[in-house]
Chains A and B, each alone.
Chain A
Amino acid sequence: MGTTTQALSTRATDARAAEDFDRRDLDWYIDKLIAVIVFVCGISAVLFVLGIFFFVTKEGIGFVFEKMDFREFFLTPYWSPSDAEDPEYGILALMAGTASVTGLAMLVAVPFSLGAAIFIAEFATGKTREALKVLVELLAAIPSVVWGFIGLVIMNPLLIKWFDIPVGLCVLNAGVILGLMAAPIMTSIAEDALKAVPDRYREAAEAMGATRWQVIYKVVLPAAKNGLLGGVLLGVGRGFGETMAVLMATGHAVNIPGSIFDSVRALTATIAAELGEAVVGGEHYQVLFTIGIFLFLITFIINLSADLIVRGIRKG
């Protein structure tokens, strides 16, 4: 496209003197106008991301600069924002809740989705492959509030029965739910990464007498390594930012978990549960927005690293 445009514009320069007048008809102006509109829409994604950062910061910054004690905020587990006399804002327990649930979810989702992606991309053929791909895509579409509902009414009684525990809303429940939820997304990203490995790599290995598994293990996986890692990272970002499912399935108790049967509370769920009752502009409200800034920055870093890692292979 570059060379064509260049050729066109060179010709246009030569003929400018003669044709300039003729070219400036209505279509010429429409073309210029559209180019501007299209450009504005093109950069809208950038504007929106900046807008998100600006408005979330705008509401939360008052707390960050005036009252926030970084050590107390990040390193104490006491969260009692509605205490009228001495409200405490320590998010350590909330971070532990998010980390434990996301960690468990990844333990469930990463091996299974990589396995499933390898099966779909490398072993399955024809109709089986198409059917599996469609199925995975449909599973990825189930809304998070439905997953939360499943954790609440299906997983909860099952866990109580199986493990003989008083409450089934815990790290295990939310972790499994989140894992099942993230797995289809990670499967399709991982499958894309495997598909991006050129077929001539596989053919070369097969011509040397390698079996399909040897091709996968020695050739495809090393070549797709970065893409797979990027997919896993995007999955981590998804799990980390998930709101409704963890709100409904964790038990929502401020707690640093000692076992997978403990109830916890996640950062995202705290905002969802408390924003409605916080007074607009009040301290509690600002703290919730401060957590929002923190969540935004973490997911930004995760997405940026995933992008850099994936781009790494394209260059190499």
Chain B
Amino acid sequence: MATANPTMFQASDLNHHNERVQRRYRLLFGLMTLLLITPVMLILGTLVVKGGGAISWEFLLTAPTDGMRTGGVFPALLGTIWLVTVALILSVPIGIFAAIYLSEYAGDNWFTRTINLAIINLAGVPSIVHALFGLGAFVLFFKFGTSILAASLTLAVMTMPVVIVATRESLQAVPQAFREACWNMGATRWQTIRRVVLPNSLTGILTGVILEVSRTAGETAPIMFTGAVFFTPFLPQSVFDQTMALSLHLFVAATQVPGIAEEVPFGVALVLIGLVLTMNSVSIAFRMWLRGKKKW
């Protein structure tokens, strides 16, 4: 032992071999990542090239003309804004309160686990089953008819898990000591939540809300039979009217309109992707800004 083996700290053949194996796997998984992302980027590129020509202010701000074969997407865009707004008004308060319950009130027991399982299921049930639910419950049973209200209620139930999960995470990120300090001042549970917990997690909640906007705007199946129609010459005046919607309009333009000008469906697809990806990017940027700002 006194005379240390001089080769002890030199890499052996085995080390070299392991090193090569590791580099090979790194390359393999890197390639797989690339292969996963590249085709989608190419496809998106194609959409931009083919649809880019159709996009203009006129396309966004005029109605379809000539039996939907030409013209713009204004009624569909407006309809999507209606649907998303009403869905958010319905689902965001309930979603935030549900998250408050899970984070601030619920204990770690079978009851809470049941709620969590229900949230996972709400997000996992096929969108077409949500459509059946919306038709059976809101359109027929509650007699809202095919209307913005019925469609937005369906969307609200479907996308609520997004808000719940995001809100719960940002509530739980508020240190427990903040709450204890507030309780010790004699504040009630709700005063603590309203004055201390919510203000400290507001931006995180907003991230979730923006994500939900994006999810809601893209859904098609749940609104097909509950409130969105292929075509209507009228713009919606209240929540009891039917409306066109961007996502359904893409389906219709791609499959149901013979002789449609080729760039129209590409243009609709591009507007929809643009809307969704912008919302998501804003949400991500927001989250990163938030992480950089965090004080605790």
In the bound complex, what is the Cα–Cα distance between A58 and B106 (angstroms)?
32
Determine whether A43 belongs to the interface, using a CB cutoff of 8 Å to chain B: yes
Over the window 40-69 of chain A, the binary record of Cβ atoms lying under 8 Å from chain B Cβ atoms (1 yes, 0 no) is 011111101101100110110000000000
- Cβ–Cβ < 8 Å partners of A49 in chain B: 118, 121-122, 125
Report whether B188 and A31 are in contact in the complex, using a CB–CB cutoff of 8 Å.
yes
Flag A102-124 by CB within 8 Å of B: 1 or 0 each: 00000000011101101110010
B191 within 8 A of A: yes
CB-CB under 8 A from A111, the residues of chain B are 32
How many residue pairs, one in A and one in B, have C-beta atoms under 8 Å apart?
A: 273
**Is B94's CB under 8 angstroms from A44's CB?**
yes
B105 interface residue per 8 A CB criterion: yes
Bound complex: CA of A34 vs CA of B194, how far in Å? Answer: 11
A27-B191, A56-B129, A149-B250 known; A143-B118 Cβ under 8 A: no
Residue of A nearest to B250 (CB): A145
Tell whether, in the assembled complex, residue B36 and residue A183 are in contact, meaning their CB atoms are under 8 Å apart. Answer: yes
- Which residue in A39, A46, A187, A241 is a CB contact (below 8 Å) of B114? A46
CA distance A118 to B141 in the complex (A): 48
Cβ-neighbour of B35 out of A31, A45, A112, A142 (below 8 A): A112
CB under 8 Å from chain B, chain A span 93-144 = 111-113, 115-116, 118-120, 123, 132, 134-139, 141-144
Q: Is B124 an interface residue (CB 8 A)?
A: yes
Whole-angstrom CA separation of A55 from B141 in the bound complex:
9
Contact between B120 and A303 (Cβ–Cβ < 8 Å)? yes
Q: Mark A215-256, 1 if CB is under 8 A from B, else 0.
A: 010000000000000000010011011111000100000000
Whether B280 lies near A138 (C-beta < 8 A) is yes
Tell whether, in the assembled complex, residue B125 and residue A296 are in contact, meaning their CB atoms are under 8 Å apart. yes
Neighbour of A272 across the interface among B18, B35, B221, CB < 8 A:
B221
Separation of A145 and B106 alpha carbons in the complex (Å): 38
Interface-side segment among B52-60, B63-71, B233-241, B271-279: B271-279
Task: Please state if B128 and A292 are interface contacts (CB–CB under 8 Å).
Answer: yes
Tell me if A143 and B218 are in contact (CB < 8 A). Answer: yes
Task: Determine which of B36, B121, B126 lies in contact with A112 in the assembled complex, contact meaning CB atoms within 8 Å.
Answer: B36
In the complex formed, the residue of B with least CB distance to A23 is: B188
Q: Mark B80-107, 1 if CB is under 8 A from A, else 0.
A: 0000000000000111011011101111
Give B254-274 as 1s and 0s: 1 = Cβ < 8 Å from A's Cβ atoms: 110000000001100100110
Give the total of B residues in contact with A, Cβ under 8 Å.
92
B124 and A237: CB pair below 8 A?
yes
Is A132 a contact partner of B250 (Cβ separation < 8 A)? no
Choose one: B126, B132, B254; the contact of A248 (CB below 8 Å): B254
Instruction: Closest A residue to B28 by CB, please name it.
Output: A115
A309 within 8 A of B: no
A13 within 8 A of partner (CB): no
* CB interface residues, B 213-230, toward A, < 8 Å: 214-215, 217-221, 224-225
Q: Within 8 Å of chain B (Cβ to Cβ): is A260?
A: no
**Nearest chain A CB to B86 CB, angstrom units:** 17
* Chain B residues within an 8 Å CB radius of A142: 40, 218, 273, 276-277
Cβ of A1 under 8 Å from chain B = yes
The residues of B that contact A89 with a CB separation of less than 8 Å are none
Is B190 at the interface (CB under 8 A from chain A)? yes
Instruction: Using known A-B contacts A52-B133, A123-B29, determine if residue A144 contacts B220 with beta carbons closer than 8 Å.
Output: yes
**A241 in contact with B124 given A46-B114, A132-B33, A180-B39 (CB within 8 Å):** yes
CA distance A111 to B36 in the complex (A): 10
Q: A31 near B190 (CB under 8 angstroms)?
A: yes
28 contacts between A and B (CB under 8 A): A1-B179, A31-B189, A37-B97, A41-B100, A42-B106, A43-B101, A45-B118, A48-B122, A56-B136, A59-B132, A59-B135, A115-B29, A123-B26, A141-B276, A146-B273, A149-B265, A149-B269, A153-B265, A184-B36, A241-B128, A243-B127, A248-B251, A268-B126, A275-B131, A275-B224, A303-B124, A304-B121, A307-B120
The 10 closest A-B pairs by CB, nearest first: A143-B218, A241-B126, A42-B101, A115-B32, A41-B97, A119-B29, A55-B136, A31-B188, A213-B22, A116-B33
Q: A143-B218, A241-B125 are in contact. List 18 more A-B contacts (CB 8 A).
A: A31-B189, A41-B95, A41-B101, A42-B101, A49-B125, A55-B141, A58-B136, A112-B35, A119-B30, A120-B33, A143-B220, A150-B47, A154-B47, A180-B36, A213-B22, A237-B124, A271-B131, A275-B131
Taking Cβ atoms with an 8 Å cutoff, the residues of A that contact B are 1-2, 4, 8, 27-28, 30-31, 34-35, 37-39, 41-46, 48-49, 51-52, 55-56, 58-59, 111-113, 115-116, 118-120, 123, 132, 134-139, 141-146, 148-150, 152-154, 180, 183-184, 187, 211-214, 216, 234, 237-238, 240-244, 248, 268, 271-272, 275-276, 280, 288-289, 292, 295-296, 299-300, 302-304, 306-307
